[in-house]
Amino acid sequence: MANQLTYNVAVVGATGAVGQQMIRILEERNFPVKQLKLLASSRSAGKTVKFQGQEVVVEEATPDSFAGVDYALFSAGGAISKELAHHAVRHGAVVIDNTSAFRMDPEVPLVVPEVNMDAALAHKGIIANPNCSTIQMVAALKPLYDRYGIDRIIVSTYQAVSGAGASAIEELLTQSRDVLDGKEPECKVLPVGKLPVHHQIAFNAIPQIDVFTENGFTFEEMKMTNETKKIFGDESVAVSATCVRIPVVYGHSESVYVELKQDYDLEEVKALLEKAPGIVLVDDPENQRYPLATEATGKLDVFVGRLRRDLTHQRGLHMWIVSDNLLKGAAWNTVQIAEELIKARA
Amino acid sequence: MANQLTYNVAVVGATGAVGQQMIRILEERNFPVKQLKLLASSRSAGKTVKFQGQEVVVEEATPDSFAGVDYALFSAGGAISKELAHHAVRHGAVVIDNTSAFRMDPEVPLVVPEVNMDAALAHKGIIANPNCSTIQMVAALKPLYDRYGIDRIIVSTYQAVSGAGASAIEELLTQSRDVLDGKEPECKVLPVGKLPVHHQIAFNAIPQIDVFTENGFTFEEMKMTNETKKIFGDESVAVSATCVRIPVVYGHSESVYVELKQDYDLEEVKALLEKAPGIVLVDDPENQRYPLATEATGKLDVFVGRLRRDLTHQRGLHMWIVSDNLLKGAAWNTVQIAEELIKARA
């Protein structure tokens, strides 16, 4: 397509776990890139990253890095987004921000393309990417929300360490080897690097992701509550979450109980999920088939299975939702928003 | 106590993961053992196990092994219990059975001492030990059941591989090392050894424990439903479970949502749990303290934390319950029943 429009794309946080996946996906998806600008902190400036066979030099992200940029994909932490996103907008870029910096800003749409792409189209320069654990849940629930309505959700998560960055991956792998070798594992990253207490993640389950809020829920849990309402554009959808880190490298799993507003037919639910965009139904108990983190790793889709009616609540439905937290949960959802914006313009 | 009564105790399945813990606990607790008889399959007969400084030879379990035995603690699989428990009773022993053989038998009490020791006292020769995931949950919920009543429970589990036996522990450790070494891990035990499909447990979460039943729940999940009703002696307590195996060696964790019958005060709930027998409250978010599988390993207690009111349901309460699945979940609960029977006789 010689006369296809192409775009200048900046990736901010290009050397991070999510940034690396963004670059990989831009390449894999043949995103119409005219020029790729890789930005990071001064610490990473000068490194090179391969893109479409060429070495691209990483530059330090500054307020003036965004001249001529069409799409600026941010994933360098909330502080960097707060500092630089408005400069990118000032230079005419559309910012798609993977941090929590603007997610609850009423001026900024919070977008999962399968759910509320209409909100993205009304953006004022910045579009926020939701939290990984929220994205996969709302993508899977969208067809049920549309057909039956949702009263409430109770979710318990089984989250991979990659959600806490490259240092958490390193910590899990090092600790695992230490435990296997009979050595005392060192704990310095999880549950939250900047907090004083750290716990072993290897061969353990840590019921804390992000800091605690006043109501006893963690910030990660409240993200699931608040972001779900915002994405559905419906304050009446109640979400109570328990977010748990487990010794998995890639792929968040979620045990989701949802109370629908109307009675449902289980076979219809399966049919709705089977044809839903971005969703893969893996639900064959007879052959022991259900979504698994190991099988979701590297895939763009959200996998759903273990569908079954609650034993006592007629409108209650249980499901198991798995997706690669760095892809649909972060890098892919970000690039996907950009792809959909381009499609909508075309 | 020179004139204390002592008892002949048999452990059936003495060389298994739970049997070994039973022997250790009998010793640790100074259980009043006159003679310890260690029984197992013919395969393990002739092995020796240390007890109170002496080597005890393991004998093959046969219908006539139980002459003179006062307490027979079974943990050698359901088939062995079905074959031999009645012979032990015939010889005058009280059988405390850790398998699922008799759990739902209306003639057999299903007992967690903190909850329904009265049922145990009315036994007809056999007392059943509940499933590990049920025991720790009902022990923690008992004070709330008594004070407020319970309408329903929605639980998602994070279960250790030791619940599937020594071969599953070996599989997790071997697979973990293989993955760390970049080798393809071999899968032949989990989720269920005898079923045709096996999945990787290292760095993964498997939403299947035991076989599937017709309603889409697994047998493990239905155990939590049915055993909870039987232990509380209350068919109205609704339980819907999602049981998940995670890469942890010892210690089951549970994310439990409970809807009480009456409104509650969160501080009162904490006070009730704090003084409940067998329960340790670990609930200090400010200092990032909550129950952890690694910290529960080797302990007899059930640890409870992350207590918080549901965001929308006034009578809804969330909690995180952790215990050593081989101890309170199996060996300790069994020995504890015997201890309580002796106390009641005294």
A234 plus A111 within the same structural domain: no
Which residue in the set B205, B207, B311 is minimally distant from A246, CB to CB? B205
Cα(A97)–Cα(A85) distance, integer angstroms: 8
Q: Is A247 on the interface with B (CB under 8 A)?
A: yes
Which chain B residues contact residue A206 at CB under 8 A?
292
Digit-coded pLDDT (tens) for A164-180: 999 999 999 999 999 99
Verify whether the Cβ–Cβ distance A253 to B207 is below 8 Å: yes
The active-site residue, picked from B87, B123, B132, B243, is B132
Cα(A51)–Cα(A58) distance, integer angstroms: 12
Verify whether the Cβ–Cβ distance A152 to B313 is below 8 Å: yes
Verify whether the Cβ–Cβ distance B240 to A311 is below 8 Å: yes
Which chain A residues contact residue B292 at CB under 8 A?
199-200, 204-206
Comparing alpha-carbon positions, the chain A residue that sits nearest to B305 is A207
Q: Is B180 on the interface with A (CB under 8 A)?
A: yes
A132 is an active site residue:
yes
B280 plus B302 within the same structural domain: yes
Verify whether the Cβ–Cβ distance B248 to A248 is below 8 Å: no
Report residue A204 as tokens.
Answer: 């353990």
Residue B2 counted as domain residue = no
- Testing the interface with B: which of A153, A155, A156, A213 to mutate, by most B Cβ within 10 A? A156
pLDDT of residue B2: 45
Chains A, B: CB pairs < 8 Å = 165
Domain that holds residue B170: 134-325
Residue B316 counted as domain residue = yes
CATH number at residue B40: 3.40.50.720
Digit-coded pLDDT (tens) for B29-83: 999 999 999 999 999 999 999 999 999 999 999 999 999 999 999 999 999 999 9
Q: Where are the beta strands (DSSP E) in chain B?
A: 7-12, 33-40, 48-51, 54-57, 59-60, 71-74, 94-97, 126-128, 150-158, 238-242, 252-260, 279-281, 302-309, 316-323
Q: What are phi and psi of B267, to 5 degrees?
A: -65, -35
Comparing alpha-carbon positions, the chain B residue that sits nearest to A218 is B285
A97 plus A156 within the same structural domain: no
B125 plus B139 within the same structural domain: no
pLDDT of residue A2: 46
A208 plus A294 within the same structural domain: yes
Residue B202 pLDDT more than 70?
yes
Mean local confidence (pLDDT), A233-258: 98
A65 plus A114 within the same structural domain: yes
Task: Report the percent of chain A where pLDDT is more than 70.
Answer: 99
Residue B321 counted as domain residue = yes
- The answer to whether the annotation marks A15 as part of a ligand binding site is yes
CATH number at residue B192: 3.30.360.10
Q: Is B309 on the interface with A (CB under 8 A)?
A: yes
pLDDT of residue B238: 98
Closest CA to A93 of A212, A31, A11, A1: A11
Residue B240 pLDDT more than 80?
yes
Verify whether the Cβ–Cβ distance A215 to B239 is below 8 Å: no
Residue A113 counted as domain residue = yes
Report residue A17 as tokens.
Answer: 């776990």
Which residue in the set A212, A238, A240 is minimally distant from B318, CB to CB? A240
Distances (CA, A) of A26 to A154, A196, A246, A335: 35, 38, 30, 7
B175 plus B312 within the same structural domain: yes
**For chain B, the helix, strand and coil percentages under 3-state DSSP, each to the nearest 5:** 35, 25, 40
- The answer to whether the annotation marks B17 as part of a ligand binding site is yes
B252 is an active site residue:
yes
A30 plus A92 within the same structural domain: yes
Residue A273 counted as domain residue = yes
pLDDT of residue B345: 85
Which residue in the set A195, A197, A311 is minimally distant from B238, CB to CB? A311
Cα(B161)–Cα(B187) distance, integer angstroms: 13
Residue A1 counted as domain residue = no
Kindly report the average pLDDT of chain B as a whole number: 97
B95 plus B139 within the same structural domain: no
B228 plus B319 within the same structural domain: yes
DSSP string, A311-340: SS-TTEEEEEEEE-TTIIIIIHHHHHHHHH
pLDDT of residue A1: 45
Closest CA to A247 of A181, A319, A178: A178
Classify strands B126-128 and B94-97 as parallel, antiparallel or unpaired.
parallel
Residue A2 counted as domain residue = no
Reported as a pLDDT band with limits 50, 70 and 90, residue B18 is very high
Q: What is the pTM of this model?
A: 0.97
pLDDT of residue B253: 99
Which chain A residues contact residue B191 at CB under 8 A?
288
CA distance A338 to chain B (A): 31
Digit-coded pLDDT (tens) for A104-140: 999 999 999 999 999 999 999 999 999 999 999 999 9
Which residue in the set A200, A307, A312 is minimally distant from B216, CB to CB? A307
B125 plus B230 within the same structural domain: no
Which residue in the set B203, B207, B309 is minimally distant from A249, CB to CB? B203
Residue B93 counted as domain residue = yes
Task: Report the percent of chain A where pLDDT is more than 90.
Answer: 98
Q: Is A219 on the interface with B (CB under 8 A)?
A: no
Which chain A residues contact residue B246 at CB under 8 A?
158, 205, 246-247
Domain total of chain A? 2
Residue A342 pLDDT more than 60?
yes
Verify whether the Cβ–Cβ distance B197 to A289 is below 8 Å: yes
Verify whether the Cβ–Cβ distance A158 to B154 is below 8 Å: no
B311 plus B271 within the same structural domain: yes
Q: Is A115 on the interface with B (CB under 8 A)?
A: no
Kindly report the average pLDDT of chain A as a whole number: 97
Q: Is B215 on the interface with A (CB under 8 A)?
A: yes
